[in-house]
Chains A and B, each alone.
Chain A
């Protein structure tokens, strides 16, 4: 626990200084927090962050995850399990290799995988990283994000009792009606949980964007909040690092993160999982 509290306290302390590589504690009060409000890049970064979280969440982490788990539980069981297994691969592949694969597939030459495939339909080669950086970022993150929601939705769908399903079928429900009026209402809570949990993890994620576009092309095209913190502190443009300002942005991230987690704890009744041990011996 020490490993969390010391850094958190340090982060807050550093955020009131203008520390750089010299590690000198120059106290400047709340200047860094004022800087956040007046930073000319802030509106862009905020807009980017919201767009990134919203698009990835709706299209992949919840959207495609839900569709895939509904389909794979309704088709042949073995095929369904195999498809779910394949979607697990991006999640466990080392991040650098995974992004490398995407960057190769999206090279600007006409021989790269996607341009080559599009060539059959008569499209001209596209420089994906330069022309459609957002598409690349969202797909890279989305293909990883699918597995989490998919596993949870599938588990929830499988735990629906057969009696409920049969009752609906006896009453003449079609597959679509079964999904719409029986299964979806029954997995409402897992759905909300994934939505909430993945909002937070996407909000604080930056590793794959760092690897894929580095926040570019150009200035801050695909820069999100967490990546901005990283860039300020660890990518020394012209040898200048901003530990103080970065720490201030981090501190806000911590506040948002902890607040959201506490809300989840309350809403999703995690307390039930924390039941006291039944018998107690020394």
Chain B
């Protein structure tokens, strides 16, 4: 009797110990991620940092919001106005998102509903394109932009961005259109809608989630774009926030006024944080959609 009792107790202790170790492991590997973001947040409100502990709190770093003028002591060149940079970033993000939603919903619908020659080849191609090494096209794109006179314009970056993001957008939308029962569309057609009206009035509202996913994906993708800006933009007046943050941290001005850099980086992260808090299901969808596993 006693032996059974102690054995079961021993087993229980072992079980608690094991799950304790598991929890410590999970929290241990996750804490660096949390610390990194805490570091950013605290840095923006402090004079100087010692590890994660602020040495003197201040709001001075955030003064940059008032005028948008960025001053770097001892810097030989000036930075563009913060509001200009933010405006560029927003313009690029919103136009990329709008264009991707428009084209992806049309193409996704066509691929989901119409039978045409080469349809499955086209689908396979879209998947292959999605896995296409972007770096491999940079040189050719550079050449094309130069020929078209679009080098150093936001329009050029916008076109490349939409073209290269579209395969994923189309794939997401195709998945959503596939899940809408054909009967729904059929009844709209019987009730006297034409194909376009059925698409506009009946189908689009029922793939709202897909449209949201593509919209968020397009916005974040345009908002965060860095490589194309670095490569295809040379004038400061077309800089986006990614380029500004990069300029702060590269070369000789690395870590001058970290508080201001942190404040700007936080402003840069606002849409990301909003989507993270309120639209996580879309983000998850974007992560796995178009990779052939949904």
List residues of chain A with CB under 8 Å of any chain B CB.
1, 3-4, 6-8, 10-11, 14, 23, 64, 68, 71-72, 74-75, 83, 85-97, 99-105, 107, 111-113, 116-117, 119, 143, 147-148, 151-152, 155, 190, 193, 197, 200-201, 203-204, 206-207, 210-211, 226, 229-230, 233-234, 243, 246-247, 250-251, 253-254, 257-258, 260-262, 264-265, 268, 270-271, 273-274, 276-282
Interface size class of B (residues with CB under 8 A): 35 or more
B124's partner among A10, A14, A226, A274 (CB-CB below 8 A) is A274
Residue in A92, A143, A270, A278 whose beta carbon sits within 8 Å of that of B283 in the complex: A92
Which residues in B have some Cβ–Cβ distance to A below 8 Å? 19, 22-23, 25-26, 29-30, 32-37, 39-40, 43, 48-52, 112-115, 119-120, 123-125, 127-129, 131-144, 146, 159-160, 163-164, 182, 186, 189, 195, 220, 223-224, 226-227, 231, 241-243, 245-246, 248-249, 254-255, 258, 261, 265, 268-269, 272, 275-276, 280, 283-284, 287-288, 291-293
Q: Given A23-B146, A104-B258, check contact A258 B269 (CB 8 Å).
A: no
CA distance A143 to B136 in the complex (A): 25
Of chain A, the residue at the smallest CB distance from B185 is A281
Contact B140 A11 (CB under 8 A): yes
Cβ contact within 8 Å between B280 and A85: yes
Pick from A148, A226, A246: contact of B139, CB below 8 A.
A246
Q: Describe A's contact surface by its main secondary structure.
A: helix
A103 CB, min distance to chain B CBs, angstroms: 6
Q: What A residues does B242 contact at CB under 8 A?
A: 94-96
* CB-nearest residue of chain B to A102: B36
Q: Is the CB of B224 within 8 A of A116?
A: no
Q: How many A-B residue pairs have CB under 8 A?
A: 236
Please give me the residue from chain B that is nearest to A228 by CB atom.
B135
Known pairs A83-B30, A276-B115; A254 contacts B288 (CB<8 A): no
